Amino acid sequence: MGAEQATLVLIKPDGLKKSLTGNILTRLSETKLEIVAAKIAKVSKELATQHYVHLQDKPFFEELICYLMGELHSRRKVMAMVYWGEDAINKVRALAGATNPEEADPVSIRGAYGRITTKGVYENVIHASSNEQEAQREIQLWFGPDEIIVDLYPSKEIIAKEVKQRVWVK
Ligand code: IDP
Ligand code: MG
């Protein structure tokens, strides 16, 4: 029995554009893991760059950032989720399949729905954290503590003065 873990899952812009959200969530529900955070997020260049910071020296980096920002799919958004439970990281990675969608098991999410563009971008529909350190870094990048319904990592309360925020007009 593995320990309980959290993992970040992103449905990338190609997944949203191809109306695959339902299919992907159904596949992920096979894991019996719990969703403890979820949102649709706009992806700024800063966020995309931070997310893939470890790949910044790769020749495909600029294209990859454009892809995650939704510039290839006229949708500047992704669906971000935190899945939580026993052995979550490996369970989600196994369902996601290999990075290269042409090499991924055809019944995996990437194997079934991914493609390589003529420019060589791996449009592989889903992101999943690959180890606990990466999961913590990524979850803390995409979510604040109040957006997650379990306490995953140490947090603190602060009283922020003069923070600019948008509220509803009433
Ligand atoms: P992963 O998503 O399976 O963890 P990473 O090596 O972390 O794979 O790469 C992040 C993303 O960068 C991949 O999901 C894919 O979209 C893209 N990518 C990775 N390797 C290549 C490549 O060799 N060519 C084009 N795109 C790539
Ligand atoms: Mg990775």
Q: Render pLDDT for 44-78 as a digit per residue (tens, 0 to 9).
A: 999 999 999 999 999 999 999 999 999 999 878 99
pLDDT the model gives residue 74: 84
Question: Is residue 161 domain-resident?
Answer: no
Measured CA to CA, the distance from residue 119 to residue 134 in angstroms comes to: 28
Question: Is residue 152 domain-resident?
Answer: no
- The alpha-carbon radius of gyration of the chain (Å, integer) is 17
CA of residue 168 relative to chain centroid, distance: 28
Catalytic residue IDs = 127
Question: Is residue 169 domain-resident?
Answer: no
Tally of domains within the chain: 1
Ligand 1 pocket test, candidate residues 99, 110, 138, most atoms within 8 A of CB: 99
pTM value is 0.96
Question: Is residue 112 domain-resident?
Answer: yes
Question: Is residue 55 domain-resident?
Answer: yes
What count of other Cβ atoms lies within 10 Å of the Cβ of residue 14?
A: 23
Which regions of the chain are under pLDDT 50? none
pLDDT the model gives residue 76: 85
Ligand lying closest to the C-alpha of residue 10: 1
pLDDT the model gives residue 1: 57
CB 125 within 8 A of CB 110: yes
CATH code: domain of residue 100:
3.30.70.141
Question: Is residue 165 domain-resident?
Answer: no
Residues having C-beta closer than 5 Å to ion ligand 2: 130
pLDDT the model gives residue 118: 87
Ligand lying closest to the C-alpha of residue 64: 1
pLDDT the model gives residue 75: 78
Question: Is residue 73 domain-resident?
Answer: yes
Residue 86's domain comprises: 4-147
CB 45 within 8 A of CB 88: no
Q: Which residues contact 20 (CB under 8 A, 6 or more apart)?
A: 11, 113, 125
Question: Is residue 159 domain-resident?
Answer: no
